[in-house]
A and B are shown apart, each in its own frame.
Chain A
Amino acid sequence: MQLHFNLEVDKLKSSLLQMASLVDQQVDSALNALENAQAELFKEIKAKDLEIDAYDNLIQTQCANIFALFQPVASDLRFIMSALMINNQLERCGDIAVNIAQRVKKTTAQKALIEESQIVDMGKQAKDMLKRTIDAFINNDIELANKVIDNDDIVDGYNKKIFKFLITKMQSNSELIEPCSHLLILSRHIERLADHAANISEDILFLLEARVASHQKKLTPPKDEN
């Protein structure tokens, strides 16, 4: 059954791309809010997150239907599995955009601290990763997916540097404890954003190369007792 299956897969692809585009816009808005101290963007970003949640539910249903009705195998199976995993990562990115925008309300008066901490640069790096992982998905680009995974180290580096910077600030001036705490949480949100972008790239490698790329640096596979 090619025609019906292809039609359903095209619908799923379209849903995923529309969701990815929405998430990209949301992350962009949240990071702009951080950079330009636009706390008022929170309401808009939170409202739009419901659209992302609706796509999350739709994509889960579409994948479940395809599994139930077509029993996909080989690259078709990997595509539906990847779609489910990517959907989950995108939904989390949408939530993080809301979290960032919400936290911006607490940091609007800290322009100098934000600039000095380099958290905006970290945000741009994470956003770039997200954009490129979406491009890698659209274009089936293995090389780009691998680059996104490698770039996660850059964001992790920012996170460590910003953590040290903010701790030092808090130690030197107790009045900065509250704003620095908010920035620590923001840094953590952005670090998670980059993790999700890297995870999407790993899902793309599973789709295109049929290999599990997750946790490769840290894990030795469990012994197969069979």
Chain B
Amino acid sequence: MDIKLSIKNLDAYYGKTKVLHNISLDIPKNKAVAIIGPSGCGKSTFIRCLNRMHEVVGGSITGSIMMDNEELSKKDPVLLRKRVGMVFQKPNPFPTMSIFNNVAAGLRLNGIRNKKIIAPIVEKCLKQAALWDEVKDNLDDSGANLSGGQQQRLCIARTLAVDPEVILMDEPASALDPISTTKIEDLIFELKKDYTIVIVTHNMQQAARVSDYTAFFYIGELVEFDVTSKIFMSPAKKQTEDYVRGRFG
């Protein structure tokens, strides 16, 4: 099994407050890994460490995060975020930009200006995000006019446009209706053929449905990490069992 991200003895801090304690886990390539746990357990902090966004909000880390055997801390954060894209809980398309330009934005930021190069990439990414058929005739409309589910898929298409290797998703469907949620989950299933996906979710059923591996976090510690079927059928730790059975606390 190829390992895309290898995390060793990771501690994360906000100021002097330690919020992640000695996290070690390997994230396999082209798999979906779900991070579950109650509020405040450090799920979002953990994935923000994976593209150095944690530093942007004033945090710091110790320990090691390697991507393809290279230390993340030694990489240019801007270039790193091109390789490790992120989709947030609330869809956040650029409100003044058209659908086309939302997807093209990342390319333009990276210096690609030629529309003949950009247009086929935009089409490909919208197709990968399962949005093309719904928007192909309205590419000049504002991205803000789309439904919540469409906006989230637009954000995924925007993330795909810069050709990342890893996609981090922080509660990508929690603000969406059930049908849009199904579309996002189907999309994750398709995308993992080409990308490594790490998804934070409060929804345990969603973690079970979409992921190959699941990590259970509690108060900043990694309690258990295993294949998803094992976590939901016969977890090794009682804390994990109590959480997935909904009998926590």
**Chain A residues within CB distance 8 Å of chain B:** 1-5, 64-65, 68-71
Contacts and interface: CB of A to CB of B under 8 A. Distances in A.
A70 B209 contact: yes
Interface of B: 182, 185-186, 189-190, 205-206, 208-210, 228-229, 232-233
* Majority secondary structure, B binding face: helix
19 contacts: A1-B186, A1-B206, A1-B210, A2-B182, A3-B186, A3-B190, A4-B185, A4-B209, A4-B210, A5-B209, A64-B233, A65-B229, A65-B233, A68-B229, A68-B233, A69-B208, A69-B232, A70-B208, A71-B208
A64 B210 CA distance: 16
Contacts of A4: 185-186, 189, 209-210
Contacts of A5: 209
Nearest to A5: B209
B186 A69 contact: no
Contact of A69 (B182, B189, B190, B209): B209
Contacts of A71: 205, 208
A69 B229 contact: yes
Given A68-B208, A71-B205, A2 B186 contact: yes
A211 to B, nearest CB: 28
Contacts of B205: 71
Contacts of A2: 182, 186
B160 to A, nearest CB: 18
A16 to B, nearest CB: 19
A2 B182 CA distance: 7
